[in-house]
């Protein structure tokens, strides 16, 4: 059982590796939304226009051995994310994000005001800041964070809010594939290159 103390990076990777069921659920939800869409997946992706508060999730992460990674659109087509150990949070362009993480799904909360608040909160608290990459189980701790915790905090600290994952209030681990569902808002999927990647991998297997 997890304690309230910090956990090691290896323990975090073990938790994330057990999170594949959340990935399958996320892709299934995205597939259902695509079936309801009047435009093709290719056209949807080509027409994607980043909005403040869009939640980005990718499985294009081989570095550091991490499965899954998150970012949040913070305005003018830019994405704030926490790359990994030894690095600080950084803001990059959407183009740089998709070049680095080509297999990405975007969840857009339907609460646009709350989404904008989340983007502003993330920028104010993490943009250009020196923050240690680590896994303090205090969900609201700002001095130590990681990719999915950064995005979760952006919503948890604003009007939308976000569900906590742990049994003990204020403590737990946020894994990348659970972030979008933790946000207290319905969402739509305006971009999804992850499903195609998964289908191609299954066909090649």
The pLDDT score that the predictor gives to residue 201 is: 47
Q: How many CB atoms lie within 10 A of CB 13?
A: 14
The pLDDT score that the predictor gives to residue 1 is: 36
pLDDT digits (tens, 9 = 90+) for 72-81: 999 889 999 9
Q: Which domains does the chain have, with CATH numbers?
A: 9-36+49-195 (3.90.1720.10)
Q: What distance in Å separates the CA atoms of residue 28 and residue 71, rounded to the nearest whole number?
A: 21
pLDDT (tens, 9 = 90+) of the chain, 205 residues, equals 344 456 666 666 665 555 555 556 655 665 655 555 545 667 788 899 999 999 999 988 754 445 789 999 998 899 999 998 899 999 999 999 999 999 999 999 999 999 999 999 999 999 999 999 998 899 999 999 999 999 999 999 999 999 998 888 999 999 999 999 999 999 999 999 987 655 444 444 4
The pLDDT score that the predictor gives to residue 4 is: 43
Helices 112-126 and 147-156: crossing angle in degrees, nearest 10, is: 130
The pLDDT score that the predictor gives to residue 167 is: 84
The pLDDT score that the predictor gives to residue 144 is: 93
The pLDDT score that the predictor gives to residue 61 is: 75
Residue 138 tokens read as 């205090």
Residue 175 tokens read as 């894994």
Q: What distance in Å separates the CA atoms of residue 17 and residue 84, rounded to the nearest whole number?
A: 16
Cβ(138)–Cβ(171) below 8 Å: yes
- pTM, whole model, 2 decimals? 0.81
């Amino acid at each position: 059982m997890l304690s309230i103390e910090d956990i090691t990076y290896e323990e975090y990777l073990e938790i994330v590796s057990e999170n594949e069921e959340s990935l399958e659920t996320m892709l299934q939800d995205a597939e259902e939304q695509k079936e309801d869409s009047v435009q093709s997946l290719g056209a949807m992706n080509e027409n994607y226009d980043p909005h403040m508060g869009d939640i980005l999730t990718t499985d294009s992460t081989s570095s550091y051995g991490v499965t899954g990674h998150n970012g949040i659109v913070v305005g003018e087509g830019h994405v704030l994310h926490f790359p990994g150990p030894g690095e600080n949070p950084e803001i990059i362009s959407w183009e740089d994000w998709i070049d680095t993480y080509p297999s990405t799904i975007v969840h857009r909360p339907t609460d646009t005001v709350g989404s904008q608040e989340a983007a502003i909160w993330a920028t104010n608290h993490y943009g250009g800041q020196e923050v240690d990459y680590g896994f303090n189980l205090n969900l609201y701790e700002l001095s130590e964070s990681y990719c999915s915790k950064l995005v979760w905090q952006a919503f948890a600290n604003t009007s939308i809010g976000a569900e906590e994952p742990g049994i003990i209030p204020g403590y737990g681990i946020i894994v990348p594939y659970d972030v979008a569902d933790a946000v207290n808002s319905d969402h739509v999927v305006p971009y999804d290159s992850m499903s195609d990647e998964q289908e191609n991998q299954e066909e090649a297997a």
